[in-house]
A and B are shown apart, each in its own frame.
Chain A
């Protein structure tokens, strides 16, 4: 079945550091890929998405590129801020399952 694997957290960075959160997937067919973010005490929000190979999703300085050859969708940001502290979830969608499959989430902590 479909699955998503994320790097375990927490990831702790100083402000203005470069961020990478790894995400790899296993899926039948050609999935759409997503990153969701959950700020403390809140529900999830869509951060960015990519629907086909080589697409790059971007939002709020975050980027992720859909790499079919490595089945990956790593999240990156060039300079993190304290306000980016949250839990980040990688997810995939395939028409076969008609539902989103989420990774376990990666907690990011950014300090001054």
Chain B
């Protein structure tokens, strides 16, 4: 089945450690996105990529990094510079690089907890 796979589903990290969240899609979509979800704040865009080897900062990129070396993969690294990393992270994709349809397909999310 086509879709978006995020891993791990749950992750615990000690303060000061970097951690990488995986996102893989087999929908052949050009664009991929990372959102952060916190209670009462909805979804906030961290980074997005409209095409392979290119990505742009979203609204809350500080303390995060990404890469887009392959069309199907868009990993997110939460660095030690991120002051409040405990959150639910959602990866999404859309069929075209400009996101003109506005329709995103989401993975099931990864919940990161910093101990």
Main secondary structure of the interface of A (DSSP, over half): strand
* Stretch of B42-50, B62-70, B77-85 with 4 or more beta carbons under 8 angstroms from chain A: B42-50
Whether A44 and B103, one on each chain, are in contact in the complex, defined by CB atoms closer than 8 angstroms, is: no
Query: Complex: how many Å from CA A93 to CA B96?
Result: 14
CB-nearest residue of chain A relative to B108?
A43
Contact A44 B106 (CB under 8 A): yes
8 contacts between A and B (CB under 8 A): A44-B104, A89-B42, A100-B45, A100-B102, A100-B104, A104-B41, A104-B42, A105-B43
Check B98 against A45 for contact (C-beta < 8 Å): no
Q: Interface size for chain B: under 10, 10 to 19, 20 to 34, or 35 or more residues?
A: 20 to 34
Residues of A that sit less than 8 Å from B by CB: 32, 34, 36, 41-46, 49, 89, 91-93, 95, 98-100, 102-105
**Shortest Cβ distance from B102 into chain A, in angstroms?**
3
Complex Cα gap A34–B90 (Å)? 18
